[in-house]
């Protein structure tokens, strides 16, 4: 179903483990079998990308794609997005925002900050699966850049 | 008159004087009578001034106090005659105190009145240094070439305090309202999150059951296979069906809450609205619904109003869709929209010949999620709640009355000039 470059790693940042699991199951059903890393909150994915703290860090010459939940405790998705887009190198990572509500103000803000796409997690399972499948198609279209060395900020 | 205190002899003497005319004598008596009448009227006026609840102060053209009534003395905290002969500016706080002589001189020179003949709210200064608000009206008397100014004063401290308390209360209420909307917003948002899981994993269970069912179908007649098939074909799908129906309902309620709370947070762009144009737009939008219902929509000439275009459009769209939704199946629906202006307000009526609203329900229809016939009509139970909230924010009003001979008549009132915002 998808020709997402096999080496692209999906970074799923989602504080609700159930949502993360549903996203993964649907990615699989949509035929997206890329490697996945899961982060429970915004700070964890920032540490990974900016190579801070003791946990795993981003590697060089690797393509990443970020699925980012908006509403998370402490460092939320909006903040992660704005921090990435301010970084000269990390700003090229495609970001897809995930949210539970279609707040027009929130959508506008995410687009302003430079997210690539915005998906409302519908409660309706069928449309949720469809959204994830569209995501797979969408990932094909986005040029996934290879992130190389960057200054730590 | 002094007759009542006279003795019989004195009265006879007085009568004799009056009857025996000497021209000078007669004039003398007339004069004395006139004097007595004047004294009497002076006393009456003095009594009125002394017992007045309002403070009354008179000053001359230089601002020197000539008289002060007891109410004024009490208001400013002075006793006896200590104010007489003092400059009136003694009773004013700065900067009025230093400027008053100038004001007075200016008036006497130019005749240009700032307060004389009028009244206004000014601060007063009590003997103990306390400044208080008062209503002051000043009149002018001209006597024999000199001028006299009369000030009538009313201490309005209590009224101002009540006004302040009322304003504080209104601000706190508006704050609470905003807080409540924020709580509703956050709660609805956060409650949707677990709902995604309940629905998503119920579907996962469904899929798992499907897989198990296929597996059983392939392994022929395993022991207890029939019982398993019942569970898989009936009991489990039934349970999941109820779970999903519950989720759907809850999701609809939460979406409604979100929509409602977003409304209170959205900024209003108040502008002059051409309501004839707006209603024609709504007619085009609802064209399909109107035609499907076989309805007629008559729109009269409507006065303009001031409001937020999107939100006011929503109010009238909701009213027209309600008219279509709650039409009577035995008579063709006729909707009539007309309007008029009165007292700076534009008043619109949306009348239909539909099923109408029983008297007991008229207040309830504005409650959130209230629906008259949940089984017979579509709707999220928010249309009128939203309309009412929009009008509250516009300092407008909405109410409903029965239409003659059938149906409902919704009346919407909006300001027809830009009004200052009341919300903080």
Interface test with B, best of A71, A73, A125 (most B CBs within 10 A): A125
What pLDDT score does B413 carry?
94
Check CB contact of A76 with chain B, cutoff 8 Å.
Answer: no
Phi, psi of B405 (to 5 degrees): -85, -15
Weakest-pLDDT range from A62-71, A89-98, A123-132, B35-44 = A123-132
Chain B positions touching A123 (Cβ under 8 A) are: 192, 195-196, 199, 247-248, 251
Listed residue (B411, B399, B390, B383) closest to B269, CA to CA: B390
The Cα B328–Cα B291 span in angstroms is 15
| Fold (topology level) of A9-142 | Rossmann fold (3.40.50)
What pLDDT score does A46 carry?
94
The Cα A12–Cα A24 span in angstroms is 9
Contact at CB, A25 and B204, closer than 8 angstroms: yes
Instruction: Quickly state the pLDDT bin for A128 (edges 50, 70, 90).
Output: low
Chain A positions touching B243 (Cβ under 8 A) are: none
Between B188, B197, B258, which is nearest A18 by CB? Answer: B197
By DSSP bridging, strand A9-13 and strand A36-39 are parallel
The Cα B8–Cα A29 span in angstroms is 128
Per residue in B182-232, pLDDT (tens digit) is 788 777 778 888 888 898 899 888 888 888 888 877 776 556 667 777 778
- The reply to whether CATH 3.30.565.10 applies to domain B270-415 is yes
Contact at CB, B200 and A100, closer than 8 angstroms: no
In a structure prediction context, what are the per-residue pLDDT tens digits for chain B, which is 424 residues long? Answer: 566 677 777 777 777 777 665 555 556 777 788 778 878 888 888 888 888 889 999 988 888 898 898 988 899 898 878 888 888 888 888 888 888 888 888 888 877 777 777 778 889 999 898 999 999 988 888 877 788 888 899 999 999 999 999 999 988 888 887 788 778 877 777 888 888 889 889 988 888 888 888 887 777 655 666 777 777 888 888 888 888 888 888 888 888 888 777 777 777 888 999 999 999 999 999 999 999 999 999 999 999 999 999 899 999 999 999 999 889 888 899 999 999 998 889 999 999 998 888 877 777 788 777 766 655 555 667 788 888 888 988 889 998 988 888 899 999 999 988 765 444 3
Between B188, B197, B251, which is nearest A16 by CB? Answer: B197
For B54-90, b/e burial (b = at least 16 CB within 10 A) is: bbbbbbeeebebebbbebbbebbebeeeebeebbbbb
Phi, psi of B205 (to 5 degrees): -60, -45
* Opening angle at CA A8, ends A91 and A36, nearest 5: 100
pLDDT > 80? residue A122: no
Chain B positions touching A22 (Cβ under 8 A) are: 196-197, 200-201, 204
Per residue in B275-321, pLDDT (tens digit) is 999 999 999 999 999 999 999 999 999 999 999 998 999 999 999 99
Chain B positions touching A128 (Cβ under 8 A) are: 196, 200
The Cα A102–Cα A112 span in angstroms is 16
Asked whether B307 and B418 are in contact (CB, 8 A), the reply is no
Asked whether A95 and A139 are in contact (CB, 8 A), the reply is no
Q: Which CATH number fits domain B52-155: 1.20.120.1760, 3.40.640.10, 3.40.50.970, 3.30.450.20?
A: 3.30.450.20
Chain A positions touching B195 (Cβ under 8 A) are: 123
Which residues, including other chains, have CB under 8 Å from residue A22's CB and lie 6 or more apart? A128, B196, B197, B200, B201, B204
How far B378 CA lies from chain A's nearest CA (Å)? 19
pLDDT > 50? residue A152: no
**How many CA atoms lie within 13 Å of A146's alpha carbon, on the beta-carbon side?**
7
Contact at CB, A22 and B193, closer than 8 angstroms: no
Instruction: Quickly state the pLDDT bin for A42 (edges 50, 70, 90).
Output: very high
DSSP H or E run through A80: helix A77-86
Interface test with B, best of A100, A105, A106, A121 (most B CBs within 10 A): A100
Contact at CB, A71 and B190, closer than 8 angstroms: yes
What pLDDT score does B423 carry?
44
Chain mean position to CA B285:
33
Domain locations along chain A: 9-142
Window A:94-133, CB contacts with B under 8 Å: 100-101, 103, 121, 123-125, 128
Classify residue A135 by burial, with Cβ atoms within 10 Å: 0-12, 13-18, 19+: buried
Chain B positions touching A19 (Cβ under 8 A) are: 193, 196-197, 200
Which residues, including other chains, have CB under 8 Å from residue B10's CB and lie 6 or more apart? none
Instruction: Quickly state the pLDDT bin for A81 (edges 50, 70, 90).
Output: very high
Q: Does the ipTM surpass 0.95?
A: no
């Amino acid at each position: 179903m998808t020709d997402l470059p096999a080496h692209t790693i999906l970074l799923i940042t989602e504080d609700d483990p159930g949502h993360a699991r549903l996203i993964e199951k649907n990615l699989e059903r949509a035929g997206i079998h890329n490697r996945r890393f899961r982060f429970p909150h915004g700070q964890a994915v920032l540490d990974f990308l900016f190579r801070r703290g003791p946990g795993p860090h981003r590697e060089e010459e690797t393509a990443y794609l970020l699925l980012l939940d908006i509403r998370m405790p402490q460092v939320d998705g909006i903040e992660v997005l704005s921090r990435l887009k301010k970084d000269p190198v990390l700003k090229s990572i495609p970001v897809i925002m995930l949210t539970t509500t279609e707040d027009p103000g929130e959508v506008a803000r995410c687009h302003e900050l430079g997210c690539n796409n915005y998906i409302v997690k519908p409660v309706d399972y069928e449309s949720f699966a469809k959204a994830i499948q569209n995501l797979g198609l969408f990932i094909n279209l986005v040029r996934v850049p290879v992130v190389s060395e960057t200054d730590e900020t | 008159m002094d007759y009542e205190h006279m003795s019989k002899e004195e009265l006879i003497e007085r009568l004799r004087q009056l009857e025996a005319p000497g021209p000078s004598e007669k004039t003398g008596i007339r004069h004395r009578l006139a004097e007595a009448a004047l004294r009497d009227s002076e006393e009456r006026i003095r009594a009125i001034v002394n017992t007045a609840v309002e403070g009354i102060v008179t000053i001359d053209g230089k601002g020197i106090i000539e008289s002060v009534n007891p109410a004024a003395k009490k208001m400013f905290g002075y006793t006896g005659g200590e104010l007489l002969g003092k400059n009136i500016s003694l009773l004013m706080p700065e900067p009025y105190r230093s400027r008053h002589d100038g004001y007075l001189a200016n008036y006497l020179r130019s005749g240009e009145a700032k307060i004389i003949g009028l009244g206004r709210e000014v601060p007063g200064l009590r003997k103990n240094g306390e400044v208080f608000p008062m209503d002051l009206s000043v009149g002018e008397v001209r006597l024999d070439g000199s001028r006299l100014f009369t000030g009538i004063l009313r201490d309005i401290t209590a009224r101002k305090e009540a006004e302040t308390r009322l304003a504080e209360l209104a601000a706190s209420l508006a704050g609470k309202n905003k807080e409540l909307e924020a709580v509703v917003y956050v709660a609805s948002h956060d409650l949707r999150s677990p709902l995604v899981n309940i629905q998503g994993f119920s579907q996962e269970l469904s899929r798992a059951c499907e897989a198990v069912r296929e597996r059983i179908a392939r392994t022929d007649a395993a022991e207890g296979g029939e019982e398993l098939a019942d569970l898989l074909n009936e009991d489990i799908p039934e349970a999941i069906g109820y779970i999903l129906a519950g989720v759907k309902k809850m999701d609809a309620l939460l979406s409604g809450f979100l929509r409602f709370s977003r409304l209170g947070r959205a900024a209003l762009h108040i502008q002059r609205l051409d309501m004839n144009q707006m209603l024609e737009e709504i007619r085009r939008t609802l064209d399909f619904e109107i035609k499907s219902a076989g309805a007629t929509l008559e729109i009269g000439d409507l006065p303009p109003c001031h409001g937020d275009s999107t939100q006011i459009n929503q109010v009238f769209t909701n009213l027209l869709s309600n008219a279509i939704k709650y039409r009577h199946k035995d008579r063709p629906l006729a909707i009539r929209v007309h309007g008029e202006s009165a007292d700076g307000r534009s008043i619109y009526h949306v009348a239909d010949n539909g099923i109408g609203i029983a008297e007991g329900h008229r207040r309830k229809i504005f409650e959130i999620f209230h629906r008259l016939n949940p089984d017979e009509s579509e709707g999220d139970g928010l249309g009128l709640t939203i309309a009412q909230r929009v009008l509250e924010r516009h300092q407008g009003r909405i109410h409903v009355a029965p239409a003659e001979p059938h149906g409902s008549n919704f009346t919407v009132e909006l300001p027809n000039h830009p009004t200052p915002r009341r919300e903080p």
